[in-house]
Amino acid sequence: MQAKREYRDRDETEVSVLDALVDRTDEGMTVFELRTDVEADIDDLETALAELKEAGLIAVENDDGPMRIYPDERVVPEFDSGNTADEASFIDRIRDRFGV
């Protein structure tokens, strides 16, 4: 699943982070898990996380255990029982692939 379209005009690393987090909305991700899913060096990942946090698009929890990062609920697309979500993600993938 991908982040909502209105959040896809950000830096490539930021979009990759949001997409990875949206896939794991309920359980969140650690920085190490993000490093595995997002193809970026640690400096770019750190910058992306800082920008997303500042924009209020992610939440960081450090309760009991390792720090977990969650997407803000406004970034997570709502489930649609129709095919429009699949069609939109297909179109988004094509746009991303060709840089449109």
Over residues 53-96, the pLDDT tens digits come to: 999 999 999 888 889 999 999 998 886 545 455 555 677 777 77
DSSP string covering 19-80: HHHHHTTTT-B-HHHHHHHS-S-HHHHHHHHHHHHHTT-EEEE-SSSS-EEEE-TTTSPPP-
What is the pTM (predicted TM-score) of this model?
0.75
CB-CB neighbours of 83 under 10 Å: 9
pLDDT at 8: 87
The domain tally of the chain equals 1
The enclosing domain of 29 has a CATH number of 1.10.10.10
Residue 72 belongs to domain spanning: 5-98
* Mean model confidence pLDDT for the chain: 85
